Structure 1
């Protein structure tokens, strides 16, 4: 035996009997155990929460000489823009007033332009086109784009940087956050660059698009039709899914990691994560952005950034300037200005395809530091850390065997048992919050945390901690191994946790997800602490090794809790607008559980270093019980609050008119078509002043009628149709404006084909539904051919979603119908036309009905006319 090994044994080893007897006396008194967990809780509230909401000081006009982003000026512009009111595509506010506002601001910037440094060109264009989106053909006419090209004097570059945001609105919102916030940010960034004596290499195109909310039409029009689009080689897209706070980088590239490097070098207040990118692209977030259009139709890589805090007001009448702190504008303005300046000088812009080289792994730490590396590096790092962890675990067990004077096989056998216990703990840590979410949903108590986020701790975090701690605590309470000390047993539990994370990191890496880094971070720091403990012999000195372990887990704890807090904050309000088909509580439960497991996985077993660790488990049970009571039996658990956390209620004031083949009117009904936005559907309205007597599901209508026989507004209405409900009313709903669907001609083309030509007039938002009968085929039409050849899956019909901006001319279209037997004097197809009078509040009865909703309801409703014909 070497001298070093003798020294270790002399210093740290007693006979096994003495070790066992001394275990109890080495443990810390029981009352410190709760303090141990409380410390980590306080660390979260003292560090993570303040840094998550931290914003820079807003600059005023007194700072204007510094050539920096001036919030005061941008805020004044936001006040003017949001006060225009709702800017629905096709409305005067959007097509005239908002356009004039932007043009006036651009004219003022042009007046102060440094003409020795820059040239500035403004182009207002109109676009018409179509593309397939989800289950519908998205068709647009006369949508407007305001494009500004800022060109450095003497520049020979033929590659441009594109910066984009939109100025239109969803119905019934003034859209201060989505996306007025980003519009005024762009205006101020343009102003600063245009008035600063600096040199930039590439022209910059600032695109203010006027039709994003109708499935991103204006950006499609720009990237497919505008004269500058072919020269745009990278894009910074600016959007919102909230209002106020920091903007998050949630998409990059794709396959252009150099863009993330510019983000690191030029963004002052980083806020980004690869995990957000992968979650967004998975489709579980009910949103999309113009970034999709630039990538898909223009092959333009870039960075997609959006406001994400306070999504409760997103797309509602409460999206006002009052909820946006000036500091939030400064945060985004600083970042966008720095990023635009950096990318405008990027050498990569000359030939972006030459730098196409895979994805990036990226994330920020508390907004203080930004980390990024290539996907290839990430794969090597993940495998390397997992391998190092396995090696150190083996070394640790060898040391345990040597110090305890037993065979390593004995240690391995106990380690296998501990692994089983730890796997059970890991699974329970994830499963118990899911069980709570499932039970609450079955009881009709979804979204209890919607207005009281602290309930997430009691409902999901504490059950996860119980799951993590209970099996291992029971095990330590009953095991009687006299050869391996309790301190060593505790280390074996942490080694088992390490093994689980290592296998997860390797498995997820093999699956191709870059988010595997979230498992590697706690692994790295555990490996470092274990290596130091082994080198310093703290590994063998009772519980002495726990001090270094606790210190090493501070950074992983802060990051893991910070990361998952981001997703809970962002996804909680989305549960109020994701439809009623899925239980969104499961998403929050999974996020809370995963965050808890990663944050406390190496910490919660340490309660067994204290006496009576079961008291900690009972304390967690007590907190969970209190939370369950508050959520299920008190007003605290009621999801909705006026203004701040409203219940979104979407319905149409519908007039349905069915015309048969002979022209007779077979059905004429009026009522309200509800498309419920969250899991609770109409239940919160029962017992209020809202009269829902007669409310029924339309599921049976969906089985017998084309598109349920209803004016389904867009793809979301179509997706959620089986959960939609109908409330009939006796008084007919009169359309507030004239509209018509006219058959212009019916012409036999040949023996098997007949051509129908139609004219459709009406409001700015309409849909056409087409469904041929079984022995009939649509051989040609005036719409996009690719949609004809790839129809939506049955039972959905063809859905042409048509909107117009500044150009309100009628929609003329034709259908060529083929029938093998050439008999055209029988029903060939059904055609439905829906018109949505979005800017109209409806008749007196509809207004009275709307006024009966409680103060916490946020309505999105308007009259709609649906006419179904058989030709």
Structure 2
């Protein structure tokens, strides 16, 4: 109105020059005008009262989201004033420090506080008087009098001490005004009632009000809604401009047509009657379309039914007459119109789902925004649930103090862990293990003996065992293991009365592989065991049964020490159960991944008593498939001891497993406490269990399904009950299909079959896409680009048919797994059970009035609610699988492409999300743009991964190294003829990479490239006469390794000497060879290859069974021989060969040709002889270059962790 009087023309209220905060009544510059703070508030926009009226009317119709800008401006204003307050407070404080002592400052502070209370009270008294509230005003006046009296007392004290008072200043914490502490009350009243102070009070109150009430969701959501509204307005303006341009084009075309007709009428008189009729028909259709578009309001839209399945439905039921229909968004339809459509639909006996299919609201921009908002909110809620569950999943318990001996203490366990890990690598036979680690463990046990003796209720015994023996092991391949005097330390604690008839065993190993300190594998387990032993030693009550603690010293030699204990130790006979502790990662939550066999009371005891259970039968079944290149002592106790138990291991951060980075500081705080609490509670429960005496009474052969749900609770039940559950769910699926197919007639059998075929085709398409990606990645040499970053790695009628077909797909998988009695079938039972809840949930919602009709929106929400538990379960399992399997791929060998495994895991995870969302396609529109965006994002990500360092496979950091594992042996090879003369002698570097990229992908350097592959043309040895440390040459074949010739020989302190003691010809074409081996280190491998048609018949090592090893007539037999505390003087073996081919042998024939090739390799992997000068240079080179991945092209290839040693191999023919 004022603008009209002044003759000014105002822009509309939504113009960018109008202040949005002013329209909200909270513009900081307006509230602080004519004050000192006005200059600090920057607002040059228009403040006109007329705009407020227009804004209030528009805001009543729809939310304009102006409060978002107002909120931000208020927040900026408060930040500016708060900065000014802090600046002035610092200035006053500096001045006070120069002029006043601490006592004066304290008194001055008190005076100011009283003054402030008086000023505020006076303002309140005046306000109460204006409102007529006399009694309250009088009561407040009395309070002011008391405050004035208190102030006078403080003034008197101040004047007595400081007669010449300087001015004392204080800064108002609301508006930044500087106040004199000694001012009169009226001046303070003027300040607190002044415009600047009241303006800032109003600003702060408005800001707090917006933050508390208007932003129940977050400000980010309001900003998102504001952007969506702005986007909608822009789209409406664009569409309006488009319509105006279209009308203008039509008018121009109409004028052109009229002028053209007038010009061509004279020329077209000779035109045929048929052409004129076609032209008139086209004109009528065009005018009809134009009139129909003008007749319908903007809220009506055209929906083009271009989905093939809809045309099929129309052909089958004849209820869809046209592919083009005019529909109104559901939100714009009145209830009467809905009821009318529904009643008309019921009269025509048309399925209601078809009607809702035509009332699809997604094509309207308004509803599209609502759908997008719903999707954002749903993603937020599901993400919050998953985030909360992950916090519970990853949460570690509090660490107990070291002075509480009644509880497990991580602090005490870490002290012992550091003592062991600080010794460095501890291979069996090394000084670090046989002397230093042995001393630390035995001294700790002896000290605990004194504690037990003082309490006088229990006893501790210790026994040192150094067994000798041989056995066969099938691990990825088949080979024989022989050990001599390896070290076992056994402690037994039990009641004072003496050994009990029954006991349990807790096992760890304190040896390591070469070049790794072995904190998690497996010093931390020994620290946990020692701490548990200490807790038991401080008990003041007797234990029910004995507990054996086995610290074995040769697990990394393929489980030799545990075999020596369970086969030879006299204490083994009382064992009824065991707990094996392992580690293939670095900290995190320990996982129970194997249990049994049989005796299901064990798993029930664990689940009932472990305070932090983490277990999954899925891990047990995966491990028992034999696809993981690792094994544990669990196998030895199970196969050779015939006892049942638990296999528990750390699996997180497996990149440091068996590397130089397996250090104690990488173990999470709380991880040891968590594991210790579980093992302590489990061991206590086991020795108290009545089933320890007679375990067979508890359904010994029962198989159990067990799992924990994101660490919150556990589920376990028998396999018999699992079969009942699974088959019941399958019956429910059949009932659902019957009701939809025959009773309700929701779809025909053809539609269901077609939809089911679509699911299998979708699976096939995903599988085909995955295979194509594997091929492309392999061709572009991008294999294992995920190794360092596994994050790179996861119409109503037809909607219902496709949803049911998805359930059928998962039911088929569930049926197969249930048929074979797989305990992991529970996972797919959840895939069927939770989706079955969707339709009952929708029905209940309609009964209670939460929804009136089933719309795409209600479908979306119901499906999201039902699938949220499944999504959480799959998310945690995905994390578990990738946490474990991605690091394993770094030592999976050179022959199997790990992309296939990762693709398979990703495919299984993706199927859950894809198959349970593709049914929503039939109630959605405008997916083309989304598909294009996803394709563009995928191509962009692929481009980034393939052209930048994001996708490099190996990355080095001290906290989280993700490196390539390489073995380098500086070896001397000597090959002797049949007559004993030297045929060939060479020195070189034998290099193997343990992942699929192999030695071909190593960085270009003399130490690593060499002349190429080893020459295997002159031998039938499957190991190519190379110094293999292990027998898994199928995973690491010789042709994927490198032999780099070197001019210098390695330092060898005990040269090998192989002698043939006896070559004896026996009847029946048999030949017996007796061979002696002298010298060598504590680890040696034998490659025994029969020649000239001979086959292995027997030997002196184990009870030989040809079928155990191979059915091939000329197989190479691998023997791994070690010694621990003491070296044998010599190793003598005899080998019996038999020749079944050709004519009968004579003594003369046997002496002409060799019958056996024997390669003996010895390995120096610890001590002073482990490294040659060449290996020192190679270690230094790798350590320097892996820290500089950007120093040159391809320098990321230096991301290597090296296991190195000196080796000698001698080859003889006998």
Match of 2:183 in 1: none
Instruction: Indicate whether 1:670 and 2:996 are aligned.
Output: no
Contact 1:699 1:721 in 2 (8 A): no
Contact 2:1007 2:1044 in 1 (8 A): no
Could you tell me how far apart the structure 2 residues matched to 1:718 and 1:736 are?
Answer: 29
Alignment partner of 2:460 out of 120, 123, 134:
120
- 1:322: Cα distance to partner? 1.5
Could you tell me how far apart the structure 1 residues matched to 2:915 and 2:582 are?
Answer: 36
Instruction: Indicate whether 1:619 and 2:933 are aligned.
Output: yes
Match of 2:809 in 1: 500
Listed one character per residue, the Cα deviations across residues 535-578 of structure 1 (whole Å, up to 9, x for unaligned) are 56579623334433321211111001111220111110111111
- 1:815: Cα distance to partner? 1.8
Change (3 A) 1:317 1:730: closer
The 5 Å alignment of 1:328-367 reads 328-355=671-698, 356-367=700-711
Instruction: Indicate whether 1:568 and 2:882 are aligned.
Output: yes
Contact 1:176 1:320 in 2 (8 A): yes
The 5 Å alignment of 1:303-314 reads 303-314=646-657
Contact 1:659 1:665 in 2 (8 A): yes
Contact 2:480 2:1118 in 1 (8 A): yes
Match of 1:478 in 2: none
Contact 1:149 1:206 in 2 (8 A): yes
Could you tell me how far apart the structure 2 residues matched to 1:260 and 1:393 are?
Answer: 38
TM-score, normalising length: structure 1? 0.89
Contact 1:157 1:350 in 2 (8 A): no
Instruction: Indicate whether 1:597 and 2:911 are aligned.
Output: yes
Change (3 A) 1:97 1:268: same
Match of 1:556 in 2: 870
Deviates more, 1:831-840 or 1:521-530: 521-530
Contact 2:796 2:922 in 1 (8 A): no
The 5 Å alignment of 1:193-204 reads 193-198=536-541, 200-204=543-547
Instruction: Indicate whether 1:55 and 2:399 are aligned.
Output: no
Change (3 A) 1:694 1:202: same
Match of 1:761 in 2: 1079
Could you tell me how far apart the structure 1 residues matched to 2:742 and 2:1066 are?
Answer: 87
Deviates more, 1:189-198 or 1:718-727: 718-727
Instruction: Indicate whether 1:110 and 2:457 are aligned.
Output: no
Alignment partner of 2:631 out of 255, 265, 288:
288
Contact 2:893 2:1035 in 1 (8 A): no
Alignment partner of 2:784 out of 447, 455, 458:
447
Match of 1:72 in 2: 411
The 5 Å alignment of 1:157-306 reads 157-198=500-541, 200-306=543-649
Match of 1:836 in 2: 1163
Alignment partner of 2:1146 out of 815, 821, 827:
821
- 1:787: Cα distance to partner? 5.1
Match of 1:526 in 2: 835
Contact 1:735 1:864 in 2 (8 A): no
Could you tell me how far apart the structure 2 residues matched to 1:432 and 1:44 are?
Answer: 31
The 5 Å alignment of 1:320-331 reads 320-331=663-674
- 1:256: Cα distance to partner? 2.5
Match of 1:698 in 2: 1014
Deviates more, 1:669-678 or 1:161-170: 669-678
- 1:56: Cα distance to partner? 1.5
SS in 2 for 1:509: helix
Listed one character per residue, the Cα deviations across residues 6-54 of structure 1 (whole Å, up to 9, x for unaligned) are 9998699586575443134699516347637844873476245434432
Change (3 A) 1:71 1:697: same
Match of 2:123 in 1: none
SS in 1 for 2:936: helix
Change (3 A) 1:828 1:796: closer
Change (3 A) 1:587 1:14: farther
Change (3 A) 1:259 1:768: same
SS in 2 for 1:814: strand
Match of 1:471 in 2: none
Alpha carbon RMSD of aligned pairs, Å?
2.8
SS in 2 for 1:673: strand
Contact 2:601 2:695 in 1 (8 A): no
Instruction: Indicate whether 1:807 and 2:1113 are aligned.
Output: no
Instruction: Indicate whether 1:634 and 2:948 are aligned.
Output: yes
Could you tell me how far apart the structure 2 residues matched to 1:729 and 1:33 are?
Answer: 67
- 1:142: Cα distance to partner? 0.5
TM-score, normalising length: structure 2? 0.65
Match of 1:685 in 2: 1002
SS in 1 for 2:1087: strand
Could you tell me how far apart the structure 2 residues matched to 1:7 and 1:226 are?
Answer: 87
Match of 2:769 in 1: 432
Deviates more, 1:347-356 or 1:832-841: 347-356
Alignment partner of 2:1174 out of 827, 833, 845:
845
Could you tell me how far apart the structure 2 residues matched to 1:283 and 1:320 are?
Answer: 28
Contact 1:736 1:842 in 2 (8 A): no
Change (3 A) 1:313 1:79: same
Could you tell me how far apart the structure 1 residues matched to 2:950 and 2:641 are?
Answer: 49
Contact 1:533 1:539 in 2 (8 A): no
- 1:413: Cα distance to partner? 2.7
Q: How many equivalent residue pairs?
A: 828
Contact 1:23 1:487 in 2 (8 A): no
- 1:353: Cα distance to partner? 3.5
- 1:430: Cα distance to partner? 4.6
Match of 2:735 in 1: 391
- 1:680: Cα distance to partner? 1.5
Listed one character per residue, the Cα deviations across residues 227-268 of structure 1 (whole Å, up to 9, x for unaligned) are 111211111110011011011111110222221111111111
- 1:863: Cα distance to partner? 1.3
Match of 2:282 in 1: none
Higher strand share: 1
Contact 1:400 1:488 in 2 (8 A): no
Match of 2:820 in 1: 511
Match of 2:1117 in 1: 798
Alignment partner of 2:897 out of 575, 578, 583:
583
The 5 Å alignment of 1:648-663 reads 648-663=965-980
- 1:608: Cα distance to partner? 4.9
Deviates more, 1:197-206 or 1:667-676: 197-206
Alignment partner of 2:387 out of 46, 54, 58:
46
SS in 1 for 2:765: helix
Structure with bigger gyration radius = 2
Change (3 A) 1:48 1:774: farther
Instruction: Indicate whether 1:490 and 2:808 are aligned.
Output: no
Match of 2:754 in 1: 417
Alignment partner of 2:660 out of 295, 311, 317:
317
Structure 2 residue ranges without an equivalent (≥5): 1-338, 1139-1144, 1187-1198
Listed one character per residue, the Cα deviations across residues 206-237 of structure 1 (whole Å, up to 9, x for unaligned) are 11111100100000111101111121111111
Could you tell me how far apart the structure 1 residues matched to 2:480 and 2:579 are?
Answer: 27
Match of 1:786 in 2: 1104
- Where relative contact order (Cα < 8 A, 6+ residues apart) is larger, the structure is 1
Instruction: Indicate whether 1:860 and 2:1177 are aligned.
Output: no
Deviates more, 1:262-271 or 1:27-36: 27-36
Match of 2:854 in 1: 541
Change (3 A) 1:710 1:82: same
Could you tell me how far apart the structure 2 residues matched to 1:358 and 1:813 are?
Answer: 47
Match of 1:464 in 2: none
- 1:703: Cα distance to partner? 6.2
SS in 2 for 1:697: coil
Deviates more, 1:410-419 or 1:634-643: 410-419
SS in 2 for 1:728: strand
Change (3 A) 1:292 1:344: same
Could you tell me how far apart the structure 2 residues matched to 1:429 and 1:43 are?
Answer: 29
Listed one character per residue, the Cα deviations across residues 510-546 of structure 1 (whole Å, up to 9, x for unaligned) are 1332211111113111223333434565796233344
Listed one character per residue, the Cα deviations across residues 64-111 of structure 1 (whole Å, up to 9, x for unaligned) are 15x211011001111111001111010011111111111111122222
